[in-house]
Amino acid sequence: MRKHAEDLARDHELGKDSFDFYEYIIDSLINGQRQQVRDLFNSLKKYDQRDFLVNFIDPSIGYHKTALNICIEELTE
């Protein structure tokens, strides 16, 4: 079941806002957990997926660009 990023942040005890969860996605990538990145992204409601890709990701940052590519692949499957 998909959830809002704020709810997922609370569920994972990361904080209270969407950016806390988005940071967790990036941290998962930094730690080499590509499947976890996919799973976390897919757990987001569509609105929050878009928010993550459009408002949070900075493609000039290497890990962000990689996360962007992984998430785009998820959207096209």
Kindly tell me if the per-residue pLDDT of 34 is higher than 90: yes
State the pTM of this model. Answer: 0.93
The number of CA neighbours under 13 Å toward the Cβ of 5 is 19
Query: In the prediction, which pLDDT does 77 show?
Result: 74
Kindly tell me if the per-residue pLDDT of 31 is higher than 90: yes
Query: In the prediction, which pLDDT does 60 show?
Result: 95
Residues 9-27: pLDDT tens digits?
A: 999 999 999 999 999 999 9
- Angle between helical axes of 62-76 and 34-42 (0-180°, round to 10): 60
Q: CB of 57 within 8 A of CB of 64?
A: yes
Q: CB of 18 within 8 A of CB of 6?
A: yes
The number of CA neighbours under 13 Å toward the Cβ of 28 is 19
User: Residue ranges per domain, the chain?
Assistant: 5-76
